[in-house]
Chains A and B, each alone.
Chain A
Amino acid sequence: MAEMIAGPRGPKPRRAFSTPNIVLYGTLIVVAAYYALPLYVMIVTSLKTMPEIRLGNVFSPPVEITFEPWVKAWSSACTGINCDGLSRGFWNSVWILIPSVILSIAISSVNGYALANWKYRGSEFFFAVLMIGAFIPYQVMLYPIVLVLKNIGDFLSIFSLAMGMGKVQVYGTLSGLVIVHTIFGMPILTLLFRNYFSALPEELFKAARVDGAGFWGIFFKIMLPMALPIFVVAMILQVTGIWNDFLFGVIYTKPEIYPMTVQLNNIVNSVQGVKEYNVNMAATLLTGLVPLTIYFISGKLFVRGIAAGAVKG
């Protein structure tokens, strides 16, 4: 009996600073610092004056904080064509973003719903090709899409001219870019919605059919109210994706309506004049601000979006 009383008793002692823990947290903190560094560099550089940048290095904190570079980046930085800063690109991006997000989500959600609940002969085939198509390098399709957009414009012009209005331009305009974003957003969004609607209980769908609701009735009255989280996920995905797009913006729009990323690149990589690193970093940070804000606000939903889209693919 005595030995039993003398032995270890009660909860096992835990040491917060065990060697594995120090290694684990140490590594994580170092890696985290590395990942955070570029953001830090952007911020400090954008708050320094040019003389100060020339004296120090990229990591040194600002001695004298100035917001001049931000003002300049926003309203008067030069792209080589004009000198009204990033503000033009910002608003262009906003005008590209709103219709593209709405149209792509509207089309893909209904499509995903049809694929999940109203399968028809060939629906699985088209879905499979859609998924494969997501892996085709954009470069393969870029040029023919220019022709397709021109043809759509010419086709619509027949009607608009007949009605006494001007010629319709699709290629090189906002509408063309919206179409392109809708097309290339379709695979991932359709997958997202199809998987979500497939995971809802099938009996709910059956019950609604017995209750006499049709394709649209079930979509709007039963499915939509249940799918709000996935709509938020899709929105996060699309807003960041379209905002960050560079390729389509360059190809399918004209300089007056270039999105913010294209304009940013033109400002920073323009060969004329003296490099103003502080303005460049302010501009870079401004362009990254929209997706970063969404990312930090949405948190888990962002993760869910990329995980759902990727894992089940």
Chain B
Amino acid sequence: MADAGMTKPLTDRRAAVRPVRAWRNMNAKVASIPMVATVLVIFIGCSLWTVLYSFTDSKLLPRERFVGLEQYERLWGTDRWLVSIGNLAVFGVLSMVFSLVIGFTLAAMLDRKIRFENAFRTIFLYPFALSFIVTGLVWQWILNPTYGVQKVVRDLGWTSFSFDPLYTDSIVIYGILIAALWQGTGLVMCLMLAGIRGIDEDIWKASRVEGISVWKTYIVIIIPMIRPVIVTAVVIIAAGIVKVYDLVVAQTSGGPGNASQMPALYVMDKMFKDQNLAQGFAASTMMLVTVAIVLIPWAYLEFGGKRRG
């Protein structure tokens, strides 16, 4: 090392031992072990396991007796499951539409440089901090036919008024929808508000100079500009809809009868109550498929596009 003659051509003398590729950046890899384990064991492993065992006839305990699509045939022949799917569709479409419309409207109103903006936002968002159990129980009480909204309206003189969602099969899903919207719209509003605030102020100056009305500006100019935020909100709402469980358990327990059943309740009952594991696995696999149908087009648009760009 002493006479490192630089006039000679620099040869292949190594000052350090070539680091082995796997050992380089070792600390980062160690720090990521929990993530790698979660991804491989839980997200990939457990999901595949459930899908695989949905093709068996497992009852109390999982067993590897494969019966093909039998569980799925039974699933789609079960009234309770069909009711769940119907409920999910109605609940899903309505909560998606109302969340977006209410969320955006509230965000636009808060964006109008109003006084007490913080107070209003705090009120609109606080339900989001609460547990679904708390939300479900409060609305169960407010919608109580004997003491709740129905009675209040009747006391006001409209004695034939009837609004009893929790004990009426045909409208129970709307009772849950009211509670779900109450809890969730604040979040959508916050996302939208952040999106609207992220837009360049000059857009507003331009639309004012051109004489476009405020509401028209929001609808024609702002909504297309916050498209990414809206897409994010749609994905978050959709993921929440498929998972809806606690709220229904607390508010109606799936009743009256099976009128407010949801897929998640069906899965839980089959797996942990009815000792019919494979049926639960099949139902949860269907939930996974539903999420995939929503997610894959979104992921393709969001990330597939970027890679090409």
Do chains A and B directly touch (beta carbons under 8 Å) in the complex?
A: yes
A contacts, CB < 8 Å to B: 24-25, 27-28, 31-32, 34-39, 41-42, 45, 53-54, 56-59, 107, 110-111, 113-115, 118-120, 123, 126-127, 129-130, 132-145, 147-148, 182-183, 186, 190, 214-216, 240, 243-247, 251, 261-262, 264-265, 268-269, 277, 280-281, 284, 287-288, 291-292, 294-296, 299, 302-303, 306-307, 310-311, 313
Q: Is the CB of B133 within 8 A of A306?
A: no
Query: A142 CA to B283 CA in the complex, in Å?
Result: 13
Q: Is the CB of A140 within 8 A of B28?
A: no
Of B73-81, B92-100, B168-176, B237-245, the segment with at least 4 beta carbons within 8 Å of chain A is B237-245
Q: Is the CB of A280 within 8 A of B141?
A: yes
Q: How many residues of B contact A (CB 8 A)?
A: 95
Interface SS of chain A: helix
Query: A277 CA to B151 CA in the complex, in Å?
Result: 16
Asked if B131 lies at the interface with its beta carbon under 8 angstroms from chain A, I say yes
Chain B CB within 10 Å — which of A42, A140, A145, A310 has the most?
Answer: A140
List B residues 218-257 near A (Cβ within 8 Å): 229, 232-233, 235-236, 239, 242-243, 245-246, 249-250, 253
Asked if B209 lies at the interface with its beta carbon under 8 angstroms from chain A, I say no
Q: Is the CB of B288 within 8 A of A284?
A: no
Q: List 30 A-B contacts (CB under 8 A).
A: A28-B109, A31-B124, A35-B126, A38-B135, A38-B138, A39-B126, A57-B148, A107-B34, A113-B31, A115-B32, A120-B25, A126-B35, A129-B39, A130-B43, A140-B50, A140-B285, A144-B49, A147-B62, A215-B31, A240-B129, A244-B130, A244-B134, A246-B131, A261-B131, A265-B137, A268-B137, A268-B140, A269-B253, A291-B129, A307-B191
Q: Contacts of A123 on B, CB cut-off 8 Å? A: 28, 32
Q: Is the CB of B32 within 8 A of A148?
A: no
Query: A24 CA to B288 CA in the complex, in Å?
Result: 42
Among B24, B109, B138, contact of A24 (Cβ-Cβ < 8 Å): B109
Q: Contacts of A132 on B, CB cut-off 8 Å? A: 43, 295, 299
B contacts, CB < 8 Å to A: 24-25, 27-29, 31-32, 34-36, 38-39, 41-47, 49-51, 62, 106, 109-110, 112, 114, 118, 120-135, 137-142, 144, 147-149, 151-152, 155, 182, 186-187, 190-191, 194-195, 229, 232-233, 235-236, 239, 242-243, 245-246, 249-250, 253, 263-264, 267-268, 271-272, 277, 280-281, 283-285, 287-288, 291, 295, 299
Q: Distance (Å) between the CB of A22 and the closest chain B CB?
A: 12
A133-B39 contact given A57-B152, A251-B272, CB 8 Å threshold: yes
Q: Contacts of B134 on A, CB cut-off 8 Å? A: 244, 261, 264, 284, 287-288
Among A28, A127, A265, contact of B114 (Cβ-Cβ < 8 Å): A28
Query: A220 CA to B12 CA in the complex, in Å?
Result: 38
Closest 5 CB pairs of A and B: A133-B43, A215-B27, A118-B28, A244-B131, A144-B46
